[in-house]
């Protein structure tokens, strides 16, 4: 391999999701000091010429590389965790960010079974010695809480003061049987249609929040179907003006659509770190679920490429191989 091609290969090994450890060993490990200097000079994207005449790593790329070297470790640790502990830690990490990650809260709360969500809440108690509801109340500003909380009313003298006490989505214990009251589902689909026709702020509508918080997934899918029959539109598409509610509906009614969209947005070289982390989170948490097969089918249908091919294109080294091994289980 020519020096220019070898330099290009090493640069690719430094780029993308994860790192190509074998290439570092076979190429980078053999270079002498002059070859390493030549590489630094020829790679201005990673190195810059210092005023004191040496090539220095970009601080941004040092931090990025540290994160990429840790990517496999993080995936392995998450994969080997008990699902309850894993989801409890995902909740906590999402809340600790300067801007809490609503999408992770919604995704985790809405795509787990009732037992697994209850288990995650129990694990949260053990790990952090308080409840997920307390942490959401603490970290989410009052005007943002309405998506997550059922509003309870307490009398205070002659007036009623609203206190948001419970987190609706993470507190939900949904019925998981197949039985659906079609008349009720039809009525509630009409409720959505009327609210959207009035262009009201659905997040302020207690009935809408209640339906999304307590109804079974089979029931919500029936609402989704009836809404399409009534309006000719898909409910999640009509919720484009409220991205949080759109995500709730997708996660509850069509998780493969939601997860495919997350993956195509994250499997890219020019996305933020939080987006890159989504690749690990989605693939690891869905690895043992039936919807991984549906996610792969939806991904290929919607984006014209297999999920495996996209991972092969963007990811590197052992991290890439680990992801490919996980998703192959559902073949």
Give per-residue pLDDT as tens, 54-75: 899 888 888 888 888 899 999 9
Domain with CATH 1.10.220.10 in the chain: 68-173+236-329
Q: Which of 43, 77, 96, 70 is nearest to 273 (CA)?
A: 70
- Strands 55-57 and 149-156, how do they pair? unpaired
CATH of domain 68-173+236-329: 1.10.220.10
Does this model's pTM top 0.75? yes
Summarize pLDDT for 241-296 with one digit per residue, the tens.
888 889 999 999 999 999 999 999 999 878 888 888 999 999 999 988 778 999 99
- Tell me the Cα Rg of the chain: 24
Task: Supply 251's token pair.
Answer: 């996660």
Summarize pLDDT for 191-230 with one digit per residue, the tens.
999 999 987 777 777 888 889 989 999 999 999 999 999 9
The Cα–Cα gap between 260 and 283 comes to: 10
Q: Which of 132, 144, 96 is nearest to 243 (CA)?
A: 144
């Amino acid at each position: 391999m020519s020096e220019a091609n070898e330099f290009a290969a090493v640069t690719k090994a430094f780029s993308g999701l994860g790192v190509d450890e074998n290439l570092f060993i076979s190429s980078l490990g053999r270079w002498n000091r002059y070859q390493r200097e030549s590489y630094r000079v020829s790679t201005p994207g990673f190195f810059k010429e210092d005023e004191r005449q040496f090539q220095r790593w970009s601080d941004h790329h040092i931090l990025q590389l540290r994160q990429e070297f840790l990517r496999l470790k993080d995936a392995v640790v998450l994969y080997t965790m008990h699902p309850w502990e894993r989801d409890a830690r995902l909740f906590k990490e999402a809340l600790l960010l300067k801007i809490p990650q609503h999408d992770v809260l919604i995704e985790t709360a809405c795509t787990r079974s009732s037992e697994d969500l209850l288990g995650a809440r129990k694990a949260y108690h053990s790990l952090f010695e308080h409840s997920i509801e307390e942490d959401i109340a603490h970290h989410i500003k009052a005007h943002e809480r309405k998506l997550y909380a059922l509003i309870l009313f307490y009398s205070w003298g002659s007036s009623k003061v609203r206190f948001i006490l419970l987190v609706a989505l993470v507190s939900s214990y949904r019925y998981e049987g197949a039985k659906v009251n079609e008349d009720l589902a039809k009525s509630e689909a009409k409720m959505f249609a009327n609210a959207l026709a009035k262009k009201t702020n659905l997040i302020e509508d207690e009935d809408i929040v209640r339906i999304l918080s307590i109804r079974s997934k089979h029931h919500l899918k029936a609402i989704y179907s009836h809404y399409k029959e009534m309006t000719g539109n898909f409910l999640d598409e009509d919720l484009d003006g409220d991205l949080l509610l759109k995500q709730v509906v997708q996660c509850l009614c069509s998780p493969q659509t939601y997860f495919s969209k997350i993956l195509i947005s994250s499997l890219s070289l020019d996305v933020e770190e939080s987006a890159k982390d989504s690749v690990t989170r989605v693939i690891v948490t869905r690895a043992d679920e039936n919807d991984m097969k549906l996610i792969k089918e939806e991904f290929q249908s919607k984006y014209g490429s297999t999920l495996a091919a996209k991972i092969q294109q963007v990811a590197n080294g052992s991290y890439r191989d680990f992801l490919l091994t996980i998703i192959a289980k559902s073949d």
